[in-house]
Amino acid sequence: MDKEVIDKLNAVFGPVKWFEQKIFGGFKNEGWFVLETVPLPPEDELEPVISDIINGCMVDIADGKVRHYSGCGNPEHKINDHRIKSVLPHLKEQSFKLAVCTGTDKMLEGQPIVISLNPRITYTIYPDHPHLNQGGYIQEINKYLPDSFCYGYTVEPDRYGPTNYDRYINTFDEITLWLLRHQIWEAVRNKFGKGVWIGPHAGQLPSWSFVNKLNPLGKCRCGRKKIYKDCHLPLDLKPEITHYAKRYNIPEKAVLSNKISGLTSMWSKRVFIPESHMISQINLTLK
């Protein structure tokens, strides 16, 4: 990465560090930014900012913080959702340490890959999160990709600009906004049991995609307090269970029991351990 680009990112966004390390090692242009951001707006700007995000109005990003934009075009700044209004007075500033990989067409259609190092934000911790990309083993590079932020790049890559500077300053701004949304979602989730994602929301991933990702003994993807294997896992497995029960003439209950037992015994080895190891490796390497 050109020093001029790094210097400009530091001047405009705030302190960022650049590392040439090849952690994934599967593509020649791999590099990593590490940044810390505290996205919560100042107290007097919080409600206007949240209202603007809800209504699709512009906001400003300055020094790793979401700020109110004076030309937002939203004169009233109302928040009609009582759940969101009730958590705003209790929000506290929180610092997030992020690793941003330059991206490659081998993973997530070339978007910069954003991984939260501290605190960790993964499906293991938030099985009901509405805006994470599912990680997993990437055969082309023989590495495990941790869960990462789903922030819109694959939908509108041209919006991020033609140059490296444009691409990364817009990515940094977008993920700062993503983190504020995450804070609101988590606060509402903690108080009411189910979070609210403010602004654009594409909905949850298809149910079958969670089967090999979530801990069967962990919280269900629906957000309820029941564990996954006693809540939505049997429904998520239904097509597969029905297929194998008919094919081998075995009762569905027996097939389901064996499948859940296998998923439970293998989850730590297939998901938790490799993901935790990779996040720890990224954290240790990018110091």
pLDDT one-digit tens code per residue, 67-84: 999 898 888 899 999 999
Stretch 204-215: mean pLDDT, rounded? 86
Average pLDDT, the chain: 89
Assigned token pair, 138: 């990437």
Nearest residue to 66 via CA among 153, 156, 172: 172
Strand-pair category, 96-101 with 132-133 = unpaired
What percent of the chain lies above the pLDDT cut of 70? Answer: 92
pLDDT level of residue 109 (50, 70, 90 thresholds): low
The pair phi, psi for residue 277, each rounded to 5°, is: -65, -45
Cis status of the peptide bond prior to 39, with omega within 30 of 0: no
pLDDT in tens, 259-277: 999 999 999 999 999 999 9
Domains in the chain: boundaries = 3-204, 210-270
CA count, 13 A, side-chain hemisphere, 118: 10
